[in-house]
Amino acid sequence: MRCLLFCFCLISFMACQPENSFVAEETTDFDDVDNGLQSYFNSFENEARMRGQEIDLSEYNLTASIEEIHEDGVAGTCSFGSNIPNTIVIDRQFWINSSPNRREMVVFHELGHCVLGQGHRDDQNQNGICLSIMNSGLAGCSVAYNSQNKDYYLDELFGAD
Is residue 12 domain-resident? Answer: no
- How far is Cα 127 from Cα 8, in angstroms, rounded to an integer? 58
- How far is Cα 19 from Cα 64, in angstroms, rounded to an integer? 37
CB 76 within 8 A of CB 89: yes
Is residue 109 domain-resident? Answer: yes
Is residue 148 domain-resident? Answer: yes
Q: How many Å separate Cα 4 from the centre of its chain?
A: 50
Q: How many domains does the chain have?
A: 1
**What's the domain range around 112?**
28-158
Is residue 77 domain-resident? Answer: yes
Is residue 38 domain-resident? Answer: yes
- How far is Cα 55 from Cα 48, in angstroms, rounded to an integer? 7
| Domain harbouring 121, CATH code | 3.30.2010
Q: Does pTM surpass 0.85?
A: no
Is residue 1 domain-resident? Answer: no
User: Model confidence over 13-68: pLDDT tens digits?
Assistant: 333 334 333 344 556 778 889 999 999 999 999 999 999 999 999 999 899 999 99
